[in-house]
């Protein structure tokens, strides 16, 4: 027994001496030994498989969801993992472990496992966790896109990312104020990919319309994204890189664009109009129009216009408020209580009502 203890102590001392000596190489340029690479990959796969047990997978085939994931992939994933039709990025390829070609790796994982990886990242690699732990809906959007990625060629990828023909459009619209080359470059390189050249969003209502929105609301939204008080793994990395002047200029730019027109009506629109104009006193829900219009009185400029916005976007925001997963500007707490008082059907009705209204009318102050 004492011999075994002695040998164990000697082994510990020997291991300690090896570590202290510094002879173990940590250089990324040499890569892993084959045995080390196998062990790490096996451990990773078993860990992900175990922790993905019980994750409920929502429907992932919607075009809107895939578009959201594609837009973020171009910003947050492509610099390391590359995209169809391009060579692997040279600098990340020299990492250990190097970022894999996801077109080859995605089929190895089921949707729940992909969700776990995208949301939580992987230790001891360059794979980060999702910037906002509250926004599982954004993570699922990336998963939806990743499942489509192996079948995409360069043209199909570009159409998903940039819309239309798959080419970045030149920005020839002019902001109402604060026009600078910096804001036009920002809109051209980043904003229009999701919100459109004209601020009217993208097809399938994947992204919100910004054209004609109140500048003060847009400014506060960008500031909230930047400091993390509004939760979004998609917007936070973009907003956090903007200085105060650029935030104000891009807000003015979109506020100065022609606002959207309304959509078609229906029974849901009529029900939503009743809630928007009268509220639901029994559920402690005030009239929406008091803060968001249309109305005949002046409103707080920090409160957004909702008229003409996509119904899908509005209903998502209300659900996020109700679940305390959205965050927002200093006024965001007001909506948490209101949204939690609405049923799922009432949320859809209010969203349909506001989507049906044309924006920018004389009563939409």
Question: Any idea what the CATH number is for the domain that residue 335 is in?
Answer: 1.10.760.10
Is residue 263 predicted with pLDDT exceeding 90?
Answer: no
Q: 61 and 114: one domain?
A: yes
Query: Residue 214 is part of which domain span?
Result: 181-255
pLDDT band (50, 70, 90) for residue 262: confident
d(CA 291, CA 337) in angstroms, rounded, equals 15
Residues 249 and 214 in one domain: yes
User: What's the confidence (pLDDT) of residue 175?
Assistant: 47
DSSP state of 124: T
Within 10 Å of residue 59's Cβ, how many Cβ atoms? 8
Burial 15-28 (b: 16+ CB within 10 A, else e): eeeeeeeeeeeeee
Average pLDDT over residues 140-164: 95
Could you tell me if 308 and 357 are in contact, meaning their C-beta atoms sit under 8 angstroms apart?
yes
Q: How many CB atoms sit inside 10 A of residue 73's CB?
A: 21
Asked, for residue 11, whether it belongs to a domain, the answer is no
pLDDT at residue 137, as a whole number = 97
The residue written with tokens 């990492």 in the block is 95
Q: Quick check: helix, strand or coil at residue 16?
A: helix
- Do 273 and 343 fall within a single domain? yes
One domain, residues 192 and 246: yes
| pTM assigned to the model | 0.89
| pLDDT value at 138 more than 80 | yes
pLDDT band at 18 (very low <50, low <70, confident <90, very high): confident
Tell me which DSSP letter residue 30 carries: G
pLDDT in tens, 72-119: 999 999 999 999 999 889 999 999 989 999 999 999 999 999 999 999
Answer whether residue 191 is part of any domain: yes
Residues 203 and 149 in one domain: no
Is the preceding omega at residue 294 within 30 degrees of 0, hence cis? yes
Nearest in space to 320 (alpha carbons), one of 347, 301, 293: 347
Residues 6+ apart with CB under 8 A from 2: none
Question: Looking at the predicted structure, is the pLDDT value of residue 301 above 90?
Answer: yes
Say yes or no: 54 and 107 in one domain: yes
What is the C-alpha separation between 145 and 59, in angstroms, rounded? 12
Angle between helices 332-340 and 311-322 (to 10 degrees): 90
Q: Which of 44-48, 159-163, 311-315 shows the lowest per-residue confidence on average (mean pLDDT)?
A: 159-163
Q: At CA 129, angle to CA 123 and CA 131, rounded to 5?
A: 155
Residue 333 placed within a domain: yes
For residues 195 and 235, is the Cβ–Cβ distance under 8 A?
no
What was the pLDDT predicted at 179? 53
How many domains, the chain?
A: 3
> How far, CA to CA in Å, does 312 sit from each of 99, 106, 352?
34, 28, 8
Verify that 158 and 93 share a domain, yes or no.
yes
Report yes or no: 276 and 353 within 8 Å, Cβ to Cβ.
yes
Same domain? 248 vs 307? no
pLDDT value of residue 189? 87
Considering only CA atoms, which of 148, 162, 146 is closest in space to residue 81? 146
10 is a domain residue: no
SS3 at position 212: coil
In a domain, 171, yes or no: no
Read off the tokens for 85: 């039709």
Non-local CB neighbours of 69 within 8 Å, separated by 6+ positions: 141, 142, 143, 144, 145, 146
User: Kindly report the CA angle at 83 between 77 and 89, in degrees rounded to 5?
Assistant: 75
250 pLDDT higher than 80: yes
Kindly tell me if the per-residue pLDDT of 227 is higher than 80: yes
* Res 176: pLDDT: 46
The average confidence (pLDDT) of the chain is 91
Q: Work out the end-to-end distance of the chain between its first and last CA atoms, rounded to an integer number of angstroms.
A: 85
Q: Do 232 and 272 share a structural domain?
A: no
Paired tokens of 89: 């990025």
Chain-centre distance for alpha carbon 248? 22
130 has pLDDT over 80:
yes
Residue 227 covered by a domain: yes
Residue 151 sits in the same domain as residue 52: yes
Same domain, 58 and 146: yes
Report the pLDDT averaged over residues 216-221. Answer: 98
Last residue of a domain, one of 206, 234, 255: 255
Supply the pLDDT for residue 276.
96
Looking at the fold, whether 71 and 152 belong to one and the same domain comes out as: yes
Higher pLDDT residue, 8 or 135? 135
Check residue 165 and give its pLDDT: 67
Instruction: Tell me, yes or no, whether 156 lies in a domain.
Output: yes
What pLDDT, on a 0 to 100 scale, did the predictor assign at position 213?
A: 96
Q: Are 225 and 235 in contact (CB under 8 A)?
A: yes
Does residue 46 carry a pLDDT above 70? yes
Q: Is the separation of the CB atoms in 279 and 292 below 8 Å?
A: no
Residue 18 belongs to a domain: no
Q: Please enumerate, as own/partner, the contacts of 277-282 that have beta carbons within 8 Å and a separation of 24 or more.
A: 280/341, 280/342, 280/346
């Amino acid at each position: 027994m004492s011999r075994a203890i002695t040998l164990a102590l000697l082994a510990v001392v020997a291991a300690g001496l090896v570590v202290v000596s510094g002879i173990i190489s940590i250089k990324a340029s040499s890569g892993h030994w084959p045995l080390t690479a196998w062990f790490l990959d096996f451990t990773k796969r078993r860990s992900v498989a175990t922790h993905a047990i019980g994750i409920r997978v929502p429907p992932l085939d919607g075009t809107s969801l895939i578009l959201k994931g594609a837009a973020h992939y171009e910003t947050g994933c492509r610099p390391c993992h590359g995209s169809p039709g391009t060579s692997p990025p040279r600098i990340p390829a020299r990492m250990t472990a190097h970022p894999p070609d996801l077109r080859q790796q995605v089929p190895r994982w089921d949707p729940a496992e992909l969700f776990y990886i995208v949301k939580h990242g992987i230790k001891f690699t360059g794979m980060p966790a999702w910037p906002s732990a509250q926004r599982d809906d954004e993570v699922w959007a990336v998963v939806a896109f990743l499942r489509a990625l192996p079948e995409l060629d360069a043209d199909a990828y570009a159409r998903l990312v940039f819309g239309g023909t798959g080419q970045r459009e030149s920005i020839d619209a002019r902001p109402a104020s604060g026009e600078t080359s910096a804001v036009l470059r920002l809109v051209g390189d980043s904003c229009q990919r999701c919100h459109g050249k004209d601020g009217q969003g993208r097809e399938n209502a994947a992204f919100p319309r910004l054209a004609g929105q109140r500048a003060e609301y847009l400014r506060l939204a960008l500031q909230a994204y930047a400091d993390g008080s509004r939760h979004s793994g998609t917007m936070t990395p973009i907003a956090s890189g903007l200085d105060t002047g650029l935030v104000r200029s891009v807000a003015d730019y979109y506020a100065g664009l022609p606002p959207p027109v309304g959509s078609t009506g229906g029974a849901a629109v009529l029900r939503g109009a009743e809630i928007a104009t009268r509220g639901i006193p029994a559920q402690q829900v005030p009239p929406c129009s008091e803060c968001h219009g249309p109305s005949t009185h002046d409103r707080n400029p920090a409160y957004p216009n909702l008229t003409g916005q996509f119904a899908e976007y509005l209903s998502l925001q209300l659900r996020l408020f109700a679940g305390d997963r959205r965050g927002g500007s200093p006024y965001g707490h007001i909506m948490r209580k209101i949204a939690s008082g609405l049923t799922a059907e009432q949320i859809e009705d209010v969203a349909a009502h506001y989507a049906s209204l044309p924006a920018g009318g004389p009563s939409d102050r």
